[in-house]
Structure 1
């Protein structure tokens, strides 16, 4: 299977919603609950990139007003296979320069696909971690696309993500992301949109602790599930290694 053509990805507007930022104050590009953070970055939005995407991102010069170096995190499975994620901290507030250099995670916001080992989309989940905690997103979510155009956005993503989901490594990452957010939601076990200010502060303090300690994912069962996902995707792709 040929690798992802990131040039084509970066030339694709996965969601057609021109000027949607004018209806929500640029929610997708801001840390709306950052004022409550005590340890996490109050303004920077974390943008994860696969290693192959990051290499392409660098080759086109990247976003000029993201000046902090990307943080590299390498994860090793118990079978010895490893992969790396690069995380950009973006405080551009939607004024990224140039706009067409923004990463994939920005292009598919507000969702990421829930896929099986063959890359078939089974549903969608919110792509920003704080967005996971709306009890009634159709009513309370800050993103206009979620409240008013969810079906349209998901239909567009279903079509436009198809070439990308031919890559087993991309499928693997999305499947792992599903496990990650499922664990986080289970540990948090609450919603933020119905809390008063004091409740939000307590909620976000717990959220910061979970993110910083990695507690939702620090057990043998989670590691075993990631190993199983690797084997599922490998088998779905003719038993060919992809990491």
Structure 2
């Protein structure tokens, strides 16, 4: 993997949105989630590449690392970087994938074929494209999708990254469905004004307490995704006893 590769070329797009993607998600209804930094997730394979590339100044070490085991003993390690750079990361080329691919991530098949796209950060899941804070989503989404279809070709030859994108899609869909089961929708524009605070409160608790993901169905879906990919590419995650 060439960690310094760029996937989307949109010079100075931050001028049209006040740097929304790097500013931190501010919401007056949140009681626990802070807006003074952004938590960036990196699976272990990317984290090692990030460190090898030299990392970002002031973000050389993950603030938190978590380990999960699949049913077959395969180990997933997830590292969390806390970013407070507000877009002034240095070296800029060492940004994590979740930043370089923003504002969308690919929906992929087990063989690595791009099937579509979904909004790429946890808070963006609840916006309709027309009211999305990111100008690229509102005005240039087709062009962004074309760039990613072209530039992700090599990355999607690696089963690790296929799994990362599949896992991200599963996590997103489970969170959206969790909120939809409560409110009948997960789009904030469709929520009555007197329920907006309650909506964001449920979103915050769903994320902080992982209510949308601490379920047998989520575990089964992640395991199935891994098994389907490994069936094509062979085993690719380390197995611990």
The TM-score, its normalising length taken from structure 1, stands at 0.89
Number of the residue aligned with 2:157: 166
Number of the residue aligned with 2:211: 215
Instruction: Name which of 174, 177, 188 aligns with 2:168.
Output: 177
Instruction: Name which of 23, 46, 62 aligns with 2:39.
Output: 46
The TM-score, its normalising length taken from structure 2, stands at 0.90
Number of the residue aligned with 1:206: 202
Number of the residue aligned with 2:187: 191
Number of the residue aligned with 2:183: none
**Structure 2: how far apart are the matches of 1:67 and 1:9?**
15
**Structure 2: how far apart are the matches of 1:70 and 1:52?**
17
Contact between 1:72 and 1:87, CA under 8 Å: does it hold in 2? yes
**Structure 2: how far apart are the matches of 1:200 and 1:97?**
37
Superposed displacement of residue 196, structure 1: 7.1
> Residues 199 and 65 of structure 1: is their aligned pair in 2 closer, same or farther, counting only changes over 3 Å?
farther
The secondary structure found in structure 1 opposite 2:80 is strand
Contact between 1:180 and 1:217, CA under 8 Å: does it hold in 2? yes
Instruction: Name which of 119, 122, 127 aligns with 2:120.
Output: 127
Contact between 1:66 and 1:90, CA under 8 Å: does it hold in 2? yes
**Structure 1: how far apart are the matches of 2:27 and 2:57?**
23
Match runs of 1:52-201 below 5 Å: 52-66=45-59, 69-134=62-127, 136-137=128-129, 139-189=130-180, 190-193=186-189, 199-201=195-197
Gaps of 5+ in 2: 181-185
Instruction: Name which of 228, 236, 239 aligns with 1:242.
Output: 236
Is 2:33 the counterpart of 1:21? no
RMSD over equivalenced CA pairs, Å: 1.8
Deviates more, 1:117-126 or 1:92-101: 92-101
Contact between 1:47 and 1:105, CA under 8 Å: does it hold in 2? yes
**Structure 2: how far apart are the matches of 1:46 and 1:207?**
16
Contact between 1:35 and 1:42, CA under 8 Å: does it hold in 2? no
